[in-house]
Amino acid sequence: MLLPARCQTGILLKRYKRFLADVRLEDGQTLTVHCPNSGSMRGCSTPGSKVIISHSENIRRKYAWTLEMVQEQGVWIGIHTGRTNALVREGLEQGVITDFGRIHSIAPEVVVSAGSRLDFRLGTDQGTVFLEVKNCSLAEQGTAFFPDAVTSRGTRHLHELVRLVEVGNVAAVLFCVQRGDADCCAPAAGIDPVYADTVLWAAGQGVRFLAYQADVQPAEIVLHRQLPFVFEPHMRS
């Protein structure tokens, strides 16, 4: 996935009100930019970090620039959660993700119950697969963790996936790890123990849990390898 053509680097001054960040450009100018990430951004929002921002030509936007990546300890981290599904779709179409066999069709944003949608419905050799995608930007000591803040919505999705398994479908969660300093992925029990417990329960009911890592570079992000998913790791709370 190529980033927009018009991007530039800067220094993160602060991230605030969840969806805003102040960035200082190389010429000393300070911009307020849109931050497309509703999580805590733990481990990837340190003031003074190098960032990449992209420009939108949409004149209706209040903030023309968007935060795309943050660099922590030399590692670029993709924090734009709005790009995650497209990145995973590329991985499905290009054969990087092979867990479901041959894929015949990909339907995005599928309504599965009143008020609830999942990211993809796949037509595959294994039957119908319902796939929920989660962006993972948090990593500690070589392990990527999800979530980085309490997610009742994520827990609801797990219950939906279990229901779909019970009626004969394949259901899975794919964690897209947008940083290169992780060797495995796990639920963040120290942040959201309810979600972590629900992951264990859902796995016991037949929901599959997968993790794929992206190579995150200033001009392009590419899904490139699968990571082990570990159900009971240790992390700092």
Output the pLDDT for position 25: 97
Output the pLDDT for position 169: 94
Asked whether the beta carbons of 56 and 5 are under 8 A apart, the reply is: no
Asked whether the beta carbons of 67 and 44 are under 8 A apart, the reply is: no
pLDDT, mean of residues 6-32: 96
pLDDT, mean of residues 48-68: 95
pLDDT, tens digit, 9 for 90 and up, residues 27-39 = 999 999 999 999 9
* DSSP one-letter code for 125: T
Torsion, Cα of 203, 207, 208, 212 (10° steps): -100
Output the pLDDT for position 233: 63
Tell me the domain boundaries of the chain: 7-77, 81-227
Asked whether the beta carbons of 192 and 149 are under 8 A apart, the reply is: yes
- Show the CA angle centred on residue 190, arms to residues 189 and 193, nearest 5°: 45
CATH code linked to domain 7-77: 2.40.50.580
pLDDT band at 85 (very low <50, low <70, confident <90, very high): very high
What mean pLDDT value characterizes the chain? 95
Assess whether pLDDT exceeds 60 at residue 236: no
Output the pLDDT for position 115: 78
d(CA 186, CA 233): 7
CATH code linked to domain 81-227: 3.40.1350.60
